[in-house]
Structure 1
Amino acid sequence: MPEESPECETHQRRRNLLHHWFNRFNLSYTHVHHTAMEGTEVVNLPVAEEENPDNNTEETDISESKVLAENVGCASPVSDSGVKLPTYNLCTKPLQVCGAWRTYGKNSFTKGCKWSPDGSCILTNSDDDVLRLFNLPPHLYQMPTDWDEVEELTPILRCKEGGLIYDYAWYPGMSSAVPASCCFASTSRGSPVHLWDAYTGELRCSYRAYNHLDEPESAYSIAFDTHGEKLYCGFNKMVRVFDVCLPGRTFEERPTNLKRMGQAGFISCIAFGPPGVYAAGSYCKTVAVYSTSDGQLQFILHGHQGGVTHLQFSPDGTKLYSGGRKDYSILCWDLRNLGKVLYRMQRTVTTHQRMYFDISRCGNYMISGNTNAIVTVWDLRTPPFYLDDLGAIMKPGLFFKDHRDCVNGVSLHPTLPMYATASGERKFCNLSDDDDSLFVMPEANKSDNSLRLWWVPQEESSDAC
């Protein structure tokens, strides 16, 4: 008989280890009502330790779970069975189908929202230093057409951090079919990077960074690479790379600024796109692209008026979008021609908070919130118009105002024609001349700390995805 290849032996070991960890921790599918996805394969991830672990330690080998299911809606008009899936146009005004309000209260504003990679749940950050996980209501999987009333969502998990949460990220291979892959990472002030179990809310492990004085440092931004094998963390003039399978203090250092050359400032956001490169944004208003193999700087992009707070590559990997704080433009960079900004998308950002945007899986639409409570949608297939002072400007395809406060977070569902928005910001009272009320909250400053889910009506037109 021919000998088995090393690759086959590796896959066999992974299957055996997966079976071992499932039995050891008695993992169950009943903690969270995630939806199973078909066509997953297993790779290496740290799993939570037992309450009374043995003295002997072993490397956990259960990571990468790549979801191979086809995308619904704009990214996949035909399913595997040959049935045509519904199409939708994000420039159609959506219907609000559910949301969460009471869980945040009046003084705990949200700081963005992110759908899980398999779309079964959504994660939010808020000013009370708590990450909340919400299930997608089961009836929304049926693509209903009639709505009775807006449903109030309640979080199924709450993960409390010890300080201000700087950033958080889903494990890219997350699939409810593989409970070991259901996890997310977060970084907060005064703490290492934490990896949380999305089924139980327990802390699985920590990734600890230390500076040249052997003092612990907190990351300001985090991102998993495309395959979920590495965890990239942004610091002051530094990116530190952890192996996801090796929690602790083992990491690779990649300085971004040496001898006043390169990208200076705190690395505020990181994004992965085409194979072999990643992008990093800085509070010094720059965007830089690096090689994933060795962290070698490829080029630096200038053009923002404020510190860069969010980055995202287009699905085809040819364009990079960047947005900044107190910056009225989302910039589009063509990676094939980096001489200038390809075009801008105007939005209202008057504060220093992180303002998210998102791109549809088909690459045809972008959606962003504004500090004036408006949600804006752009059709990226339309040609831009030109202004003498700004250059090429992309015209919005839709904007609507159903929030009463700053919309800081938006996230498009990976498979269904829907998206989520998160709103809220810090409020300040005005001094009053009235002796009975020294501090007065203006009516215009009433808070709207909420998460809302929006359903996009189906469209049968050539403009749909």
Structure 2
Amino acid sequence: MVNDTVKTWIPSCIASTVYSADVDEVTESETPLARVPESDVNAQSFKSAEWTPDGTTLLTDSADHHIRTFVLPPDLLDSPSDPSTTLFLSSVRDHPIRLASALAPVSVASYSLVNPTTEAFITPHSIIYPSSLGGTHFLTGSDSLICLFDVSRPGKDGPVSWLPTIPSKRKQIVGGGIGMKGIVSALAVSPTGDGILAAGTFTRQVGLYNSNGSGELLGTFSIAKTEANRVIGGKGITQLVWSPCGRYLYIAERKSDGVLVYDVRVTGQMLGYLRGRKAMTNQRMSIDVIAAGVDGAHEVWAGGTDGFMRGWKNPMYAAGGQDPEWEMKVHDDTVSSAVFHPTGSVVATCCGQRNNPSSPSDSGPKESNRKKRENSVKIWTLPS
């Protein structure tokens, strides 16, 4: 069903990655973020993008296992902040967690997450380095486990806190214990300073913990058996985002056409859901929540597989399903990330998906991969 009330906006692209063969196609209003070899159009397949806290640099994660840094031109924004806050964390299987600088390809420090019994590396499936912890600690989520690390203690010492999300594997097997079992695939710390950590799993459960994940369990709930499940689907939590006021929790899943809205004051109470996201895929597709005025007003933004990004205004005030308020075409492929600059006036988007070569049995002339797929990063200004 088409919703005629959705407002179609036309954003202005002010910067983008440029492939070597397309340099002549850049408009005068666009600033090239980087010139990329034509051979990278399929290899890159941008999976996600994220701003550094100071807003001067954009980091991307790609399907070719590379993290790329895009430093914004000084004249692109009116007043960029201190470019020194550009440290980021990354992890790969069977290796320590790495702290590095986005401005130099060198490792600043590394941290070991090792099973004390088997001495095998534990692979984090989620990592957060929240500003609410002052840059001194970070958190990881793995199989039924949340760990807290002290940045000032690199090396083999490991986490300063180990928090199993189930009391014990033995109790869980025999049916006892309270908690949640499964890979911790998403983490988010409340922005209000109350130290509440939300953790989500691929088994579609959410747990709330105090003391930034090193304290006691406040409660768990499942998102599987809800009214929204029949409408928008969902096959495992991929992202948790708090509202700016710290009262509402937004839950994004793979294979889902929307976003769930929960009031964390009443653990497990779903307020409603956002529909029309267009994300029925196993690919991780991130959402963003931005403040939009006073009295806790905010918006939720997300990209879709159809190349659009969409926004929902004050979704916490509507019960049941809510359609997007705005939509705008930003890419010709799956929009894996749509993230707002800290100033709120600029948004970065990236797109791409894994691309299989054309089958030899295809009839007719074959298009080039460049025409079939768009893998790019773009910076936009939104209409007022």
* TM-score, reference length from structure 2: 0.78
Q: Which moved more, 1:205-214 or 1:259-268?
A: 259-268
Report the equivalent of 1:141. 77
Residues 217 and 445 of structure 1: CA distance in aligned 2, closer, same or farther (over 3 Å): farther
Report the equivalent of 1:249. 156
User: Shift in Å at residue 264 of structure 1?
Assistant: 1.2
Alpha-carbon separation, structure 1, partners of 2:127 and 2:46: 19
Unpaired stretches in structure 1, ≥5 consecutive residues: 1-89, 144-174, 387-391, 460-465
Match of 1:129 among 65, 77, 81: 65
1:43-442 correspondence runs (5 A): 92-102=9-19, 103=36, 104-142=40-78, 176=82, 179=84, 181-211=85-115, 212-225=117-130, 226=132, 227-250=134-157, 251=159, 252-257=161-166, 258=168, 259-260=171-172, 261-273=178-190, 274=192, 275-292=194-211, 294-304=214-224, 305-346=234-275, 347-362=277-292, 363-380=297-314, 383-384=317-318, 392-429=320-357, 431-433=359-361
Residues 139 and 445 of structure 1: CA distance in aligned 2, closer, same or farther (over 3 Å): closer
Alpha-carbon separation, structure 2, partners of 1:445 and 1:349: 22
Aligned amino acid, residue 127 of structure 1: A
Residues 244 and 93 of structure 1: CA distance in aligned 2, closer, same or farther (over 3 Å): same
Alpha-carbon separation, structure 1, partners of 2:56 and 2:127: 22
User: Shift in Å at residue 340 of structure 1?
Assistant: 2.7
Alpha-carbon separation, structure 1, partners of 2:381 and 2:357: 35
Aligned amino acid, residue 213 of structure 1: T
Report the equivalent of 1:45. none
Alpha-carbon separation, structure 2, partners of 1:442 and 1:296: 55
Unpaired stretches in structure 2, ≥5 consecutive residues: 1-6, 20-35, 173-177, 225-233
User: Shift in Å at residue 435 of structure 1?
Assistant: 9.3
Report the equivalent of 1:446. 372
User: Shift in Å at residue 383 of structure 1?
Assistant: 4.6
Residues 242 and 442 of structure 1: CA distance in aligned 2, closer, same or farther (over 3 Å): same
Residues 441 and 301 of structure 1: CA distance in aligned 2, closer, same or farther (over 3 Å): farther
User: Shift in Å at residue 444 of structure 1?
Assistant: 12
Residues 416 and 298 of structure 1: CA distance in aligned 2, closer, same or farther (over 3 Å): closer
User: Shift in Å at residue 342 of structure 1?
Assistant: 0.8
User: Alpha carbon RMSD of aligned pairs, Å?
Assistant: 2.7
Alpha-carbon separation, structure 1, partners of 2:324 and 2:364: 47
User: Shift in Å at residue 429 of structure 1?
Assistant: 4.1
Q: Contact 1:412/1:419 (CA < 8 Å) preserved in 2?
A: yes
Residues 195 and 349 of structure 1: CA distance in aligned 2, closer, same or farther (over 3 Å): same
Alpha-carbon separation, structure 1, partners of 2:257 and 2:368: 25
> 1:277-304 CA deviation, whole Å, 9 max, x = no partner?
1111111111211112634221223225
Q: Contact 2:53/2:86 (CA < 8 Å) preserved in 1?
A: no
Aligned amino acid, residue 320 of structure 1: L
Residues 130 and 277 of structure 1: CA distance in aligned 2, closer, same or farther (over 3 Å): same
User: Shift in Å at residue 198 of structure 1?
Assistant: 2.7
User: Shift in Å at residue 453 of structure 1?
Assistant: 0.6
Alpha-carbon separation, structure 2, partners of 1:430 and 1:193: 37
User: Shift in Å at residue 107 of structure 1?
Assistant: 2.8
> 1:351-382 CA deviation, whole Å, 9 max, x = no partner?
21211010113452111011222211111168
SS in 1 for 2:280: coil
User: Shift in Å at residue 135 of structure 1?
Assistant: 1.5
- What is the number of residues matched between the two proteins? 329
Q: Which moved more, 1:358-367 or 1:111-120?
A: 358-367
User: Shift in Å at residue 253 of structure 1?
Assistant: 1.2
User: Shift in Å at residue 418 of structure 1?
Assistant: 0.8
Q: Contact 1:361/1:414 (CA < 8 Å) preserved in 2?
A: no
Runs of 4+ in 1 over 4 A off after TM superposition: 434-437, 440-445
Residues 351 and 444 of structure 1: CA distance in aligned 2, closer, same or farther (over 3 Å): farther
Alpha-carbon separation, structure 2, partners of 1:444 and 1:136: 25
User: Shift in Å at residue 228 of structure 1?
Assistant: 1.9
User: Shift in Å at residue 106 of structure 1?
Assistant: 2.4
Q: Share of identical aligned residues, percent?
A: 28
Q: Contact 1:176/1:182 (CA < 8 Å) preserved in 2?
A: no
